Structure 1
Amino acid sequence: MIRRNERFLSEAYVLSDIITIGIASILSWWIKFSSGIIPSEYRPAEFNTYFPWIIAYIIISAGFGYLLSLYSPKRKKSFTFEIYKVIQVLSLSLLALLSLLFALKQVDISRQFLGILYVLNIGLVLLYRYFVNVFLHTIRKKGYNRQFVLILGAGTLGSRFYENLKNHPKLGFEVIGFLDDIFNFPTLNYKLDKPLLGCIDDLESVLKNNLVDEVIVALPLNAHEKYATIINTCEKYGQRVLIIPDYFDYLPAKPYFDNFAGIPLINVRDIPLDEYGNKILKRAFDIVFSSVAILLVSPLLILIAIGVKLTSPGPVIFKQERVGLNRRVFSMYKFRSMRTLPPGTVDLGWTTKDDPRKTRFGSFLRKTSLDELPQFFNVLFGHMSVVGPRPERPHFVEQFKEEIPKYMVKHHIRPGITGWAQSNGLRGDTSIEDRISYDIFYIENWTFLFDLKIIYKTIWNGFVNKNAY
């Protein structure tokens, strides 16, 4: 029944997308040619001229939708994933249509019309899918449209999965019970309110006598010899099988399966910026953004340089060694905010609130983060990125890597002028552990839109930092 419902929902999405493209096409044609919103010196085009290309766009979009799994079940996915898929499919469909128009030399089709169609189509598709999502979450919370789950393993791992599942009722999963060879439930770490239906060997009879949509295997390492029998039994009854590895606690948030020499391997950390396309996109953005930023603030850079020079003797730019991508050391640039050190002196200390080494003008620069502006040159030279984990001095890196778990993960990508931690207020004299958790979340969940969000939050929150000394 559940699988029939999923197929029906997928088919309904296809039909709804086709209708939405039709509505968006009519609205786009009206906006471009009949509304008067966009003035044109040319005679309005006939809708019949555009009709065959709209049909072609519908067919192309449906094809890409199936190829890129836009219509596959997304019960376990967030709506953000659906947004990404919709934009991906409709963008590729538009590019394919433009390529077709170019190949057939159809120069009379308005590109402005296609641009309006693209924007309207994405907006309308996401709008109706959002309301469908809200509706499905609501009815699932009320007990409808549910999928039934059997958990193999009532120990810590299985119980923990069950507790997490109870915190997400909108997903619509209901646990019918557990199978386990352990019967002494008072000794378990978690309180279970679902029945123990038997031992692992009772799996076939439970599947035969109960409606089960998915089987979750949450067994300890010493039970791995049972996996072959479990999988064969589940597939005999057409059940989906998902395995939670017993080393789950040691894995990061997003491990993924890789393949090496024909052998499947678990890659313990999925880093989107390892993909070549993402690297190119981020680097191109860094070059453009830093170049524009340098041009816009160049008068301010000159004024600050004069201010530094007039208020204390010494160089205008302060260069400090920091650890960056792949643990490589580079020189990070800042406007000098402190008095110069005597020759041969090495600064290994933190800056304090009333640090006597700071100049009066330097205190202002540090408080407003204006001393960081030269780091746009670090971005331009490839040492840093606009967004990324803040780099630290080698001395402290050696210290923190021994004291703070996963501290060195931050060096998998380029450091940044600002980051997810800094945009959430973790700047200056704040918890290193908290900053690292934010940095790792950013590294594992990077998207181009995420970078734009961090830049926006950084600007919106302002550059004045009460924790910056």
Structure 2
Amino acid sequence: MPLDPVMVPAQRRSPEKSPTERLIFEDNSRSTVVLPYVPSARASRTRPLRAWMLALPADLAALLAPITWSQQYWKGTITVALLTVFAFSIGGLYRARRHLSVLDELPQLYFRFLAATAAVAIVAAARHGSINYVDGFLRLAAISAALILPARALSRFAVLLARRKRWVEHSAIIVGGGPIAVELARLLRRYPQYGLRFAGFVDVPQTAHDTRETKPLIGEPEQLEELVRCTECDVVIIADIDCPESRLLRAVRAPGLARTDLWMVPRLREFPGSTGSPDHIGAIPVVPLRRPTLSGPKWAVKRTTDIVFASIALILLSPIMLIAAIGARIECGPGVIFRQQRIGRYGKPFDVLKFRSMRPADEAESQTTWTIGHDPRVGPFGRLIRRTSVDELPQLWNILRGDMTVVGPRPERPYFVDRFSVDFPEYAMRHRVPVGLTGLAQVSGLRGDTPISDRARFDNYYIENWSLWLDVKVILRTAGEVFRGRGR
């Protein structure tokens, strides 16, 4: 178990001192330094392990077992296995759970398996037109049905045993310091079957942490990202912290928390959610928070889609781009392509490409002047390509280079990013994902001289609810905006 922190008076320290020393709270009455939790070697070694690494092979073994009895229906058996695993995945049956119980998962397991089996049986009946064939297929599927439960039970037993023996454990930070947070910390210390090694509390200075049960206090919400890195934390549990929601959101949206599991104790615990299998730690309900999914395999799919879309669009739209280049050259003179520095993912600057739609301005003015649709420097042709968004087409090359994506928050200039990030705290959170050629804010009417706070809210909503279908919807709505001439 993690020991209580060593409390020592704060002193002026040189940069060469140990980076594990953290200044927590400092005011007129107290000034303390905490030597925080140090991850165990076992926790460090088992960090890459995830729940699906045992459950998935066990499920596949049960689902593919009928092939060892008969190879006659091997295509249908494999199809059922793949559909079932996919259904299990979208149903959350491969996510980490704190309370392990096969009986909790039983209804979801068989409902999704039977749905996949029925779908394949219907297709087989239509294709073969034989009741005997379908009957034989269903008899083999019954073998999988009989094996699913023991296979899942065996994988869960292995995980539970590894947790109780502390062969596998993950570091956990509790955000909060009220009665619920303190009780959660006690449960994690006492019961290893939850698979979490308590690293410490993150809380506001107004909450007292002066008893043994309320320690170690390792930092404030603003330090959460750094503390996750220092403690090699895998799980963050949000409990009863007494701070404004905006402050908490800024802390948990930090890029450094992208690879952690976020759990929350519902405020109204007497009213559990109506969907999915409930989870708990010592009868205290906890729910996983949905995280932005623009990472991992889903990001690979999005990136592949971007490359295909941009390549095809460059080929199909090349005549329009040629006309736009000629028009820009005639109206604005040399320098058909306009390059301007913008801020991309994680605050990385890049040069965005556009067709020039107004007479050249000096560099300082172009970086710090907010342009609007009726700017007198915009000529007739410039207004046309801005209204139809044709001036944005060179950004397809930015997409191919990886600077941008097709759908995402629109990029902005460094001067305005700094300014807006100060005025609107949620604005900087837009840069958790790649910037886009079009975005949800733009197709929702937030273009040109519109409130920045509204744009940031729509952009963050897109990030936190991203799906490929949402991208498709934004692209279709963008096409509608272009045809109606509402580009600017």
TM-score by length of 1: 0.52
Q: Tell me: CA distance 1:346–1:446, structure 2 relative to 1, closer, same or farther (3 Å).
A: closer
Correspondence list, 1:366-385, <5 A: 366-385=386-405
Query: How many Å apart are 1:436 and its aligned residue?
Result: 0.8
Rounded to whole Å, the distance in 2 between the matches of 1:408 and 1:18 is: 43
1:399 maps to 419
The residue identity in structure 2 corresponding to 1:31 is: A
SS of the equivalent of 1:278 reads helix
Secondary structure of 1:428 counterpart: coil
Structure 1: distance between partners of 2:294 and 2:342:
22
Structure 1 CA distance, aligned partners of 2:116 and 2:458?
39
Structure 2 gaps, min length 5:
1-100, 157-176, 184-203, 215-236, 265-288
Q: Which residues of 2 match residues 96-175 of structure 1 at below 5 A?
A: none
Identity %: 33
What CA deviation, in whole Å up to 9, does each residue of 1:29-52 have, x standing for no partner?
2222339xxxxxxxx993355345
User: What is the match of residue 448 of structure 1?
Assistant: 468
Using a 3 Å threshold, how does the CA distance of structure 1 residues 463 and 317 change in structure 2: closer, same or farther?
A: farther
Deviates more, 1:48-57 or 1:316-325: 48-57
Judge conservation of contact 2:238–2:262 (CA < 8 Å) in 1.
no
Label 1:356 to 1:307 Cα distance change in 2 as closer, same or farther (>3 A).
same
Q: Give me the whole-angstrom Cα distance separating, in 2, the residues matched to 1:21 and 1:456.
A: 31
Partner SS for 1:222: coil
Are residues 1:246 and 2:242 paired? Answer: yes
User: Aligned to 1:47, which of 115, 134, 151?
Assistant: 134
Deviation of the 1:439 alpha carbon: 1.5
- One-letter amino acid matched to 2:207: N
1:27 aligns with 2:122: yes
Q: Which amino acid in 2 is paired with 1:222?
A: T
Question: Relative to structure 1, is the Cα distance of residues 309 and 266 closer, same or farther in structure 2, using a 3 angstrom cutoff?
Answer: same
C-alpha deviation, 1:378, in angstroms: 0.5
Within 5 Å, which residues of 2 pair with 1:63-462?
222=207, 243-247=239-243, 249=245, 250-252=247-249, 255=252, 272-273=292-293, 275-341=295-361, 346=366, 348-462=368-482
TM superposition shift of 1:408: 1.8
> What is the match of residue 77 of structure 2?
none
Alpha-carbon contact 2:439-2:459 (below 8 Å) kept: yes
Judge conservation of contact 2:253–2:429 (CA < 8 Å) in 1.
no
C-alpha spacing 1:220/1:15, structure 2 compared with 1 (3 Å): farther
What TM-score does the superposition give when structure 2 sets the normalisation length?
Answer: 0.50
The 1:302–1:440 alpha-carbon spacing in structure 2 relative to 1, beyond 3 Å, is: same
Deviation at 1:366, TM superposition (A): 0.5
- Please say if residues 367 and 413 of structure 2, whose CA atoms lie closer than 8 Å, have aligned partners that are also in contact: no
Deviations 1:349-374 (A, max 9, x none): 22234322112111001111111111
Native 8 Å contact 1:322 1:329 kept in 2:
yes
Does the CA contact (< 8 Å) of 1:258 and 1:266 recur in 2?
Answer: no
Alpha-carbon distance between aligned partners in 2 of 1:272 and 1:68, rounded to the nearest angstrom:
29
- Structure 1 gaps, min length 5: 1-5, 36-43, 70-156, 159-178, 181-199, 201-218, 230-240
> Aligned letter for 1:454?
V
